[in-house]
Amino acid sequence: MHRERTLHLIDTQSGGDVSRIVTAGVEPLQGTTVLEKARYLQREGDGLRRLLLSEPYGDPAMSVDLIVEPSHPEAQAGYIIMEAMGYPLYSGSNTICTATALLSSGMIPMVEGTQSVVLESPAGLARVTAHNQGGRVRSITTQGEPAYVADEGLSVDVPRYGRVEFDLVWSGAYYALIDAARYGFTIDRESQIALTAFGDAFVRAARPGLREEHPELGHVGPLPFAHFMGPVQQIGEGRYESPSATYVHPGVLCRSPTGTGTSARLALMARRGQIAEGESLETISPRGNRFVGTVLEDTQVGEFGALHSTITGGAKLLAHSQITVDLDDPLVDASDLEHVLVAQAPVPPEAY
């Protein structure tokens, strides 16, 4: 007999980055909090991530967000983020896509006008404000965990590129922030291949010896992201814009400016006195897509001074689908997949 399973998906995109929202077909995961569930999935069920981000089912440039039951009483749903680099604890674009999918599908009932939604990510609560009009989600503003500058003035020798200086910032994961122009790069569509090659060489060289611990979340793994910063231009009172590009290891350059990359930029700019509370930075990806980050109040994460901020963007629905997973297909590695998939295709769940 064929061993077949069914997954229910809502495909979305925010700023050009595609997020596949898994709404049903996965067994309840071990763990109480979303962080515990994510770490169980990473340890025992990584076949799901590999399946949906690899041919023939997907593409490494996508992200996957698995809807799970939350543990926090304020949260209406939980979500686990999966990318080529692994399991980021928070992501702005994935939060925008997940909130849009939950509201558009009715898993969280949509309210016309401004609506508050609370989601539980592995990093903690994401407080979302949705702006809905005519039964559609027009934009999402999300506040995730605070960002902080962990180390400044670092440098590493990168083969073929020489000595590269960077700052290390936490914003849902560790980011290496690099001044792109200093190394001869502009941030535009024509530079994407060159930036990807630079990012790959840089991350491989920079990883040894860098921090892999978060004061509250524990071990978070090796450096996954390099964020390339373009020049900052003032476009109004307290409003700035800047070209930006985020490299995701291995081998992916984000289509969007990335929400957590934008939050990392804000934390570094605030540390340098270049932006203040209430002011905003609009980041522009190599493909011309935009997110707006707004500075909120200061806070503390362990021994680090940190910064709260919000990211505003929008997401579009691409597809509602059911995919069949043939566990006997030699292209499917079922060794750490079969036990996390529901044996019978379920009906998509109602709101938690």
Q: Are 162 and 208 in contact (CB under 8 A)?
A: no
Q: How far apart are the first and last CA of the chain?
A: 35
Pairing of strands 290-301, 280-284: antiparallel
Helices within the chain (DSSP H only) = 34-44, 47-52, 92-105, 192-206, 259-271
Pairing of strands 225-229, 218-219: unpaired
Cα within 13 Å of Cα(119), Cβ side = 38
Query: Alpha-carbon distance 301 to 322, whole Å?
Result: 41
Q: Is 91 a catalytic residue?
A: yes
Residues 19, 91, 244, 263: which is the catalytic one?
Answer: 91
Q: Are 78 and 217 in contact (CB under 8 A)?
A: no
Cβ neighbours of residue 146 under 8 Å, at least 6 residues apart? 299, 301, 306, 307, 308, 309
Cβ neighbours of residue 70 under 8 Å, at least 6 residues apart? 34, 76, 77, 78, 119, 120, 352
Question: CA dihedral in degrees (119, 250, 164, 178; nearest 10)?
Answer: -30
Query: Alpha-carbon distance 179 to 226, whole Å?
Result: 11
Query: Alpha-carbon distance 159 to 25, whole Å?
Result: 45
- 3 state DSSP class of 175: strand
**Residues acting as catalytic residues:** 91
